[in-house]
Structure 1
Amino acid sequence: MNKSKFAALIVGAGIVLAGCGGFVYTTVGGTVTGLGTGDVLVLRNEANYTQTLTADGTFSFNVASNGAYSISVLTQPNSVNCTVVNGTGKMSSDSAVKNIAVTCVPNVPVGGTVSGMADNSSMVLLNNALATTTVTANGSFQFASYGVSGQPFAVTVGIPPASQYCTVANGTGTVNNANPAASLTALVSCVPAVPVQFTVNGLTAGTVLTMVNTVDGFADKFSVSAPGNYQFNWSWLSGKPFNITVDTQATGQTCKVTGGTGFVDASNPAASRNAVVDCAKT
């Protein structure tokens, strides 16, 4: 084969590969607005390509000239919520796409005030049963994860302080970045309460036994891995019925409860610490 024919074949092959997206790439991108100091936004194209942005400005991804693109938010910043417009399409030429708009709007803190918590104690609060914050003193609190404007919030008690019972008022609503104070209204009040306790005998060390105390339909689960005396996470006010049962047996053992039912009584706190759990190998 002479050199001219060989060169023609190479050029022809290059054109075919370029037409298939093998060599010709162009850019797909746009502009990000609304990021603040310290914000970190991660954008993704399709499944494998990402870009990290920390300030407003332009961005772009390389895309084959006949390829599809789908720009989305992979990781949201905490203090803002970002949405993508014009983020999907298919290239029809080697001209760059520059009209993708990523707009970020402020998120809103969720929190409130705690009162009545005993000194040297701690409490875990939840927002929407997912985000958590640990409170160690009375006063204001705030979740590290902000709420997205227009989305609901619901502050509840995850784990109360030991030997206290806590309730939440004004803990639900809708996050609104036009009125951020509306999601800082949760009032968490704690009062002394009676703990519910149990003693475990015969449990093989290293195995896991899960107990549950059911009070008015609420299940307070507690796992142990050795014999001993234990206290459930939740304490209760006088008059509340308690019902201690085995939730999950330890491997290779059968555990049975005696004295596991009754009523909480502040004048007789011993009444709710008589439960005994005896375990034996099966």
Structure 2
Amino acid sequence: MNKLKFAAVAGVVGLIAALAGCGGFVYTTVGGSVTGLTSTDSTITNTLVLRNDANYTQTLSADGTFAFNVASDASYTISVLTQPTTVFCTVANGTGHMTGSGSVTNVKVTCVPSVQVGGTLNGMNTGASMTLENNINNTDTTLQDSKTLSVNGVFTFPKYMPTGKPYDFSVYIQPVAQNCTITNGTGVADNTKPVGSFANIASVNCVQAVPVSVALSGLAAGGTIVFQNNGDTNSINMITQTINGNFTFNQSMVEGQAYNVTVGTQPAGQICTVTNGSGIAHLANPAGASNIPVTCVNK
């Protein structure tokens, strides 16, 4: 009986040893250190999420060490899944293949300060509001980083930008009956020149302008029509509507600027005609650009 027990134990030990030899139940760790993550501002907590391969994550909020559990013969790829708010982190020595049961501790995550970009708003009417956007990747498909302003003065965008990354400000929504333009709205973020030093400051200046609007009638139920001003396909100079009524373009025209309202997309089964859709904007007599008639009839 004792011999049988001994044989059974020996068999189990042998099996474990065999599994260990082929990476079976043996796990070790891969990790390293994080520096630059701890915020110097007590009101801000930087949260960094690291990922190993696609399935394993660790969340860190201060400088220190970290480690992932990995099989002794596994490959690893450590990357940043979620960047912190005020710093930008990169990973060194983050890929490799485990060659034994020893731990890997040389992965280095280094975080450097990011910077807020912004500017000054001047000339917007009291009670008005406008929305600016920062197209970090120079795309206009979504609002990646936006700021709605209701008073004149200094502003900053919510998102911090990594040093070396380009920024590009544009007006997403104009204030009513005004036209705002941006000076020095493009550049490269530089954490040695924070917004407080006015090195990254753009100037947004608003002047009085003439709103351009349409009066739509005859649009059939379920129909969709798209208007354009001056052939512009930017959303600020387009109106998409599915009902009849009066609608105003987001972009108002400055004194002496030409406007030309056209139908960019006709509704299915109908033809819509614009009457007196072009002219020159005049602040003293803005009526010509107001409620431009658009009539739809069935084909």
TM-score (norm 2): 0.85
| 1:177 matched residue in structure 2 | 191
- CA drift at 1:192: 0.4
Question: Structure 1 residue 235 and structure 2 residue 249: aligned?
Answer: no
| 1:88 matched residue in structure 2 | 95
- CA drift at 1:184: 3.4
Question: Structure 1 residue 188 and structure 2 residue 195: aligned?
Answer: no
- CA drift at 1:207: 4.8
| 1:116 matched residue in structure 2 | 123
Question: Structure 1 residue 18 and structure 2 residue 32: aligned?
Answer: no
Give the total of aligned pairs: 281
- SS state at 1:271 partner: helix
- SS state at 2:84 partner: coil
**Higher mean Cα deviation, 17-26 or 156-165?**
17-26
**Higher mean Cα deviation, 69-78 or 260-269?**
260-269
In the alignment, the residues of structure 2 paired with residue 22 and residue 280 of structure 1 have an alpha-carbon distance, to the nearest angstrom, of: 75
| 1:51-66 paired onto structure 2 within 5 Å | 51-66=58-73
In the alignment, the residues of structure 2 paired with residue 85 and residue 225 of structure 1 have an alpha-carbon distance, to the nearest angstrom, of: 53
| 1:21-100 paired onto structure 2 within 5 Å | 21-35=23-37, 36=39, 37-100=44-107
In the alignment, the residues of structure 1 paired with residue 295 and residue 14 of structure 2 have an alpha-carbon distance, to the nearest angstrom, of: 83
| 2:226 matched residue in structure 1 | 210
Paired AA for residue 123 in structure 1: M
Counterpart contact for 1:173–1:183, Cα < 8 Å: no
In the alignment, the residues of structure 1 paired with residue 208 and residue 167 of structure 2 have an alpha-carbon distance, to the nearest angstrom, of: 27
In the alignment, the residues of structure 2 paired with residue 249 and residue 19 of structure 1 have an alpha-carbon distance, to the nearest angstrom, of: 71
* Structure 2 unmatched ranges of 5 or more: 139-143
- CA drift at 1:88: 0.6
In the alignment, the residues of structure 2 paired with residue 210 and residue 13 of structure 1 have an alpha-carbon distance, to the nearest angstrom, of: 72
Higher strand proportion: 1
Query: Any idea what the Cα deviations from partners look like across 1:76-100, whole Å, max 9, x if unmatched?
Result: 1121000111111010011111111
Paired AA for residue 226 in structure 2: T
In the alignment, the residues of structure 1 paired with residue 152 and residue 164 of structure 2 have an alpha-carbon distance, to the nearest angstrom, of: 29
- SS state at 2:85 partner: coil
**Higher mean Cα deviation, 182-191 or 68-77?**
182-191
- SS state at 2:20 partner: helix
In the alignment, the residues of structure 2 paired with residue 163 and residue 11 of structure 1 have an alpha-carbon distance, to the nearest angstrom, of: 83
% identity of equivalent residues = 49
- SS state at 1:105 partner: strand
- CA drift at 1:251: 5.2
In the alignment, the residues of structure 2 paired with residue 183 and residue 70 of structure 1 have an alpha-carbon distance, to the nearest angstrom, of: 38
With over 3 angstroms needed to count, the CA separation of the structure-2 counterparts of 1:254 and 1:183, relative to structure 1, is farther
In the alignment, the residues of structure 1 paired with residue 113 and residue 273 of structure 2 have an alpha-carbon distance, to the nearest angstrom, of: 54
In the alignment, the residues of structure 2 paired with residue 251 and residue 53 of structure 1 have an alpha-carbon distance, to the nearest angstrom, of: 55
Question: Structure 1 residue 199 and structure 2 residue 215: aligned?
Answer: yes
- Cα RMSD of the aligned pairs, angstroms, is 2.3
Counterpart contact for 2:72–2:101, Cα < 8 Å: yes
Among 173, 191, 195, which residue is 1:159 paired with? 173
In the alignment, the residues of structure 2 paired with residue 104 and residue 252 of structure 1 have an alpha-carbon distance, to the nearest angstrom, of: 58
TM-score (norm 1): 0.90
In the alignment, the residues of structure 2 paired with residue 223 and residue 216 of structure 1 have an alpha-carbon distance, to the nearest angstrom, of: 13
In the alignment, the residues of structure 1 paired with residue 88 and residue 294 of structure 2 have an alpha-carbon distance, to the nearest angstrom, of: 50
Question: Structure 1 residue 267 and structure 2 residue 284: aligned?
Answer: yes
